[in-house]
Amino acid sequence: MTQKSLIINNLEFAKNQLELSDSLVTAQLPRLAEILTNHENTQVQFQLSGTGKQFRQPSLHLNIKANLAVTCQRCLDEMLISLNLNFDYLISSTEISEAEENDEIDWLEASHEMDVSELIEDELLLALPIAPIHAHDCSKLNTQSGDNPNPFAVLKGFIK
Ligand SMILES: [Zn+2]
């Protein structure tokens, strides 16, 4: 597999309001792949847009969509976590002041060579629960029979 180059000049990208829509597979994100049960070919879709005018400074908006399979820490079966994440970053060579910083916007250091896949991997790692557990009482599923429940059948129960 060839590693896609996703290196951007983040300040120019923001100023010129460029757009980048692409997808990665989790095999390209080794730190993330380590904690997934299906770590080779899960698609991670993303969209990065420069939004120069939305904030006072050049900024980036990042959307990440992925369905990641992890191991439930209670029943040890697979569980899928659906993520649809949105981030806004101010691009600046100096750290933004506390007054500017808030829950909705993060700061990214201006860089000629920012690795987008690394940023995506960092955000996914932060978004995943440290100890994922099925939302429903999963221990019953395992004691009802010797068979492991089909993870997709389990998942169906969560989609209402
Ligand atoms: Zn479980």
User: Block means of pLDDT (10 residues each) for the chain, length 160 residues?
Assistant: 74 95 94 88 95 80 96 91 95 74 81 96 95 80 52 56
For residue 81, what are the domain limits?
A: 7-158
Per-residue pLDDT at 145: 46
Distance 132 CA to ligand 1 centre (A): 8
Per-residue pLDDT at 144: 46
Count how many domains the chain has: 1
Mapped onto helix, strand or coil, the DSSP state of residue 47 is strand
CA distances to 77, 91, 126, 149 from 49, rounded to whole Å, are 37, 12, 21, 41
- Which residues are near ligand 1, the ion (C-beta closer than 5 Å)? 72, 74-75, 134, 138
Distance 141 CA to ligand 1 centre (A): 8
Distance 98 CA to ligand 1 centre (A): 40
Distance 56 CA to ligand 1 centre (A): 45
Is residue 1 included in any domain, yes or no? Answer: no
- What is the Cα–Cα distance from 119 to 116, expressed in whole angstroms? 5
- What is the Cα–Cα distance from 79 to 67, expressed in whole angstroms? 10
Is residue 2 included in any domain, yes or no? Answer: no
- What is the Cα–Cα distance from 113 to 109, expressed in whole angstroms? 11
Is residue 33 included in any domain, yes or no? Answer: yes
Is residue 110 included in any domain, yes or no? Answer: yes
Is residue 39 included in any domain, yes or no? Answer: yes
